[in-house]
Amino acid sequence: MKNLLQENKNLKEKLRIIEEDQDELKLALHIVTVHCCHLIGEKEGKKVEDIYKEINKRITALLDNRCAQ
């Protein structure tokens, strides 16, 4: 029983770390996406907001297709 409690505690800690890592990855992805939007906007003469919306729309479509499979 003691081993199970320790294993449960260890798994909860691993889950916490994974969730923390996911948050950091989401932030990094957001930063990269915004930076790319600025670069594309400068190159193509488009608004950053429009490019960001288009990229988000494509990402959402990819995720929806992946979840549907």
SS3 for 2-66 is HHHHHHHHHHHHHHHHHHHHHHHHHHHHHHHHHHHHHHHHHHHCCCHHHHHHHHHHHHHHHHHHH
The per-residue pLDDT for range 1-47, each reduced to its tens digit, is 889 999 999 999 999 999 999 889 889 988 998 999 999 999 999 99
Q: Tokens at residue 55, please?
A: 């990229």
Structural domain count of the chain = 1
Amino acid at 4: L
pLDDT higher than 80, residue 67: no
Q: Please tell me whether the overall predicted TM-score, pTM, comes out greater than 0.95 for this model.
A: no
Task: State which residues form the domain around 19.
Answer: 2-68
The per-residue pLDDT for range 25-36, each reduced to its tens digit, is 889 988 998 999
